[in-house]
Structure 1
């Protein structure tokens, strides 16, 4: 018998942007909505939450945001209010900053990978990436 331990979402914060984009594309397609991604502030809310409901809570939150979004980009006002109260208040917790992709915090992950390769090769404007 093999025992596998799957870490919780709060232990895999680097996965949050990729999972959020996956769910965004999935629900936007189902709703026939032309969604492009998350604003920097909305991504900050997602990264700041402890996700006690794990991936299922993230999935439900993104689905709700897609339905309620007023534009093509998810904003904090589109996310469930309870996420604000579940954000980490611990100042000792590590801060994760989102990479910027152009003028937006997160769009398609393929864009982010391409921009990272360009940056590594010295062909990208360094101010486009957050430290």
Structure 2
């Protein structure tokens, strides 16, 4: 009963943000798709989602979102590890060769990309186990 109430607390934009971040879409693409006008909107949306899920990081947010069925398991069930590795490798290469970012910013972006990759792979395998 409480879970249904929790799901109603999320509007479409918040659910889209949750899904896009889980899929590893970068912040610039998310900003375009969700029509963000200010950089601060990412941090505000992140905090809003985390507060609604009563978590303090994306890893736990995704776990709870799957539990609450905010993320559809079927959307993430058949992960092609080679395609994902290739996609994230390209993202990391682009980050490392980007102009205008400090080494610290590059380090953080690479870390976040690797974390996103790890989460997607882990959940893909966990979800496969639940269907058998």
TM-score (norm 2): 0.27
Higher helix share: 2
Normalized against structure 1, the TM-score is what? 0.27
